[in-house]
Amino acid sequence: MDTTSSTQGRTRGRNRRGQGERLREEILTAALRLLDELADDQALSMRALARETGVAATSVYIHFADRDALVVAAMESCHRDLMEAVDRAEADAGDPLAKLRARIRVLGAWAHQHPGLYKVLHESTLNQRAHMEFKKELADRTTAAVQRCMDAGLAPVDDAATVSLDLRAAVHGAVSMRLNQPDVAWPPLEEQVERFLTKLLGTSVTGRRAAARR
């Protein structure tokens, strides 16, 4: 699918039968592009989106009841792609701790590459108005990744859900501050992630214990 802006201002004919789903995906792709540029769901204009996609505004409303519905659908599509990237990173990693580290690094890299989408996904007013059930998957999978580290003896046994919440809060704070205060001389995110894992997951403690047993 062509995701460039070459469709802007273009008039397209009516979709043939069976192409409605394709148009919906094109609208979502255009919405993701605009949201990444705007970094604000409230700034997204349905008319501008229609022009970007090359359709009439009424065609957008056929697929999405309103802007909130469109943005939620775009965010869900974005989240699905992000989870696939996380799966690939974890598959290439070794033990559970390496997989957790890879997961966090992918999330940080994605936020750096798509700062506008990250802000819409986590900091927009839509989060106060709409329930995004799919976001729970990220929390649950991070908790499961933390639990696997504990089960493997790579981290002290603790409440995995609480540790996961602390870890996600720390990473989100680090990423968000970088996006909102880009002029600050931030340390590499990878270094902060290692400190988070040490202080919140307790990896250095188990590392010393493992070294003492050898």
The residue to which tokens 């400190």 are assigned: 195
CA distance 139 to 175: 16
pLDDT of residue 101: 94
Tell which residue, 37, 46, 180, has the closest CA to residue 116.
Answer: 37
Return the pLDDT at 199.
94
The secondary structure of residue 42, as a DSSP letter, is G
Nearest-angstrom CA–CA distance, 155 and 96: 10
Domains of the chain with bracketed CATH: 5-64 (1.10.10), 77-213 (1.10.357.10)
Helix (H) or strand (E) holding 132: none
Predicted local confidence at residue 3, as pLDDT: 37
Task: Give me the residues of the chain with pLDDT under 70, please.
Answer: 1-19, 204-214
Residue 14: the pLDDT is 53
Report the pLDDT value the prediction gives residue 11, as an integer from 0 to 100.
Answer: 43
Whether the CB-CB separation of 31 and 46 falls below 8 Å is answered with: no
Per the prediction, the chain carries an average pLDDT of 84
Task: Pick the closest to residue 100 from 211, 208, 212, 200 (CA basis).
Answer: 200
Instruction: Indicate the pTM of the whole model.
Output: 0.79
